[in-house]
Each structure stands twice: as C-alpha cells, then as structure tokens.
A = this chain, B = another copy of it.
Amino acid sequence: MYSFKNDYSEGAHPRILNALMESNLVQEDGYGEDQFSRKAVELLKEKMGRTDVDIYLLSGGTQTNLIAISAFLRPHEAAMAASTGHILGHETGAIEATGHKILSIEAENGKLTPSHVQAVLDGHPDEHMVKPKLVYISNSTEIGSIYKKSELEQLSDFCKKNKLILYMDGARLGSALCSEENDIQLSDLPTLVDAFYIGGTKNGALIGEALVICRDSLKEDFRYHMKQKGALLAKGRLLGIQFLELFRDNLFFEMAMHANKMATLLREEISKANIQFLTHSPSNQIFPILPNAFITELEKKYSFHIWEKVDSDHSAIRLVTSWATKEDEVVALIEDLKKYK
C-alpha cells in the first residue's frame, strides 16, 4: 500500500535530521532566541533580499494562521476567504475561536479576485455587520491552483486601496513557486502581500512554518501573540535548525521541484488516459475524476483522499506528491490508472 494521501506522510528530508544530530548537544537559549533560529531568520531575509520584514518560526499551519490573523485584526474585523480556504472548513473553527468571523466567497478555482472582495465590502456597509478587513488567500490553493503574478498584483493593489490586509497561507508555497506555470519569486512576496508563511511541514521539514510579516503596522509585539497561543517552543532551535538547512542552499526548492515533477508525470499520463480533472492544478496536488468502482479497486493498492462526489457514479480523488514520493510508485500508479476506460 503506497500513500498519495498527502505530503506529510514521511518524516523529514535526511539532511534535516542530520542537521539536528550535528547540533544536538550545543547549548542554546530557549524560545527562538537560539543562534540557529536567529541565523535562519537572517538567511530567509537574504533569500528575499529584504531586511525590513519580521520573520517568526512556528510549528504548523493552523497555528500560524490563527496567531497571525488574531494578532492582525481588531475584535470586530473579519477575514475573507474562498469557500475552499483551509481556515474556513478544515481548522475546526480556529479563527472563530479567537473571536473573528470568516466571510466565505465562492471562487472559481479557489482563487480570489478584487471583484470577489469588492462584493463582500459592498455587502457590509455598517456596524450591524462585521468589518471585512483581512483577505486570506493560499498559494498553492487547497485545490492545487496557483496565483499568477498579475493576479496577485491586482489583488494587492485592491487591498492597499481599500486598507485591507492581504495574507497568504503558504503551506504549499514551495510547490507553487516551483510550478511550471509560476511567474512569482519568493522575493516578490513582501511587496505583494502584508504577511505570508513559507510552509516547511508539507515540504520536507519535520515541522515548521516561517511567518513573514511585511507591513510595519502588523509587526509590533508579535512574540507576545506566539507565546499566548502556546507557539513559542522552549526548544525553538528545532525550528531554526530546520529552516537553516532548508535554505542553506537550494534544498527547499529542490524538494518542491521533485514533488511537482512527480505530480506532472501523473497529470500528463492521466490526461493521456482520457481522464478528466476536477480542477486545473499545476502543483503537487491533482484531482482526477474516476468511476467509483474503479476508485474502490485503486484503494486496494494506494491510499488517497476521495475529495468529492462529481455525479452518482464518479468522484474526484486527490493525489498528492512530495519530496519523498518515489518515481517507481508513480509509474506503478500510472500503470494501474491506464486500466481505466
């Protein structure tokens, strides 16, 4: 049984474990004030060519989202997200638990545009309703699509004009930035969004997300919020060492490229087999539509999520690849998918 269920089925890239080993007995200060975390932050700033951003290392995506959003918003302000947005349906009300409503937007392909957001603003004119303030996007999105630079620029301009906060969930940012269709650089992001995170957990780290706060007014006292929400690890070095290794050379991007390459292989061969996709997804998640009976057969050899019903006989499944996905398992899956007709 091989798993295409997600991109966090294995541990970490071996280089990361080695880095933990090598540094293991060095004594360091706690709570992210160790030299590794400090260096990792500096390294990330270098990679972005920016010294004016603040960077914090956190343990997971939901944690990062809830701390950032609750730190950025005042009590009456709300987030906006595509209906597919992870914070809306897959984080057990984590944002609402901090007191903030999320306004859901039906969005083609999981991506928000200025007109989507404008419609929400129009529908929220006064104090009897929440004040829409933060635009949550994810790149790649929860259904595998990615933002083009021009799309992000338009959204960014719109948010600036309307004094909105633009926040990007980058749980799968590596795969997005390494997509064949991508035209955004990591160094573009601080100009385009007010805050974003670089996902480590889904791209080869044991745990770890690097939150980048770009807008000055959002920076104050951020470590207080981390501590208050239980996110300041005593052994913060665990995060620092990993991000240092991920970005010391090109490891972070190499792993994302491998994941994408495996997904592309699957996507192309599945297309050839005349199988349709639920959505256009040029990243490491693909969503082929298959007959239910055929899915049942596949489940005997592979594990994956059944994403949604398409009609009474067909469903879309989600196949996810990662830095650890083996090419021969992909080939085997392709062979099995070719039996479809």
Q: A10 near B: Cβ within 8 Å?
A: yes
In this complex, what residue of B is CB-closest to A9?
B27
Whether A227 contacts B91 in the complex (CB less than 8 A), given A99-B99, A207-B238, A233-B207, comes out as yes
- Within 22-43 of A, Cβ neighbours of B (below 8 Å) are at 23-31
- Within 208-229 of A, Cβ neighbours of B (below 8 Å) are at 221, 223-229
Q: When the two chains form their complex, are residues B127 and A230 in contact, meaning their CB atoms are under 8 A apart?
A: no
Q: When the two chains form their complex, are residues B101 and A96 in contact, meaning their CB atoms are under 8 A apart?
A: yes
In the assembled complex, the CB of A123 is this many whole angstroms from the nearest CB of chain B, namely 8
In the assembled complex, the CB of A305 is this many whole angstroms from the nearest CB of chain B, namely 11
Give bound CA distance, A137 to B100, whole Å.
22
User: Chain A interface: which size bin?
Assistant: 35 or more
Chain B residues within 8 Å of A130, by CB: 92-93, 96, 224, 228
Chain B residues within 8 Å of A64, by CB: 230
Q: A3 near B: Cβ within 8 Å?
A: yes
Q: A234 near B: Cβ within 8 Å?
A: yes
Q: A113 near B: Cβ within 8 Å?
A: no
Q: Which of A12-20, A154-162, A263-271 contacts B (4 or more CB under 8 A)?
A: A12-20
Which 10 pairs, one residue from A and one from B, show the smallest C-beta to C-beta distance? A63-B230, A76-B224, A11-B24, A93-B101, A92-B227, A92-B228, A127-B223, A93-B130, A96-B101, A9-B27
Q: Can you give 19 contacting A-B residue pairs, CB < 8 Å? A: A5-B29, A11-B24, A17-B24, A62-B227, A75-B98, A75-B228, A76-B228, A91-B230, A92-B129, A92-B227, A93-B99, A96-B99, A96-B100, A97-B99, A128-B227, A130-B224, A131-B224, A207-B235, A229-B230
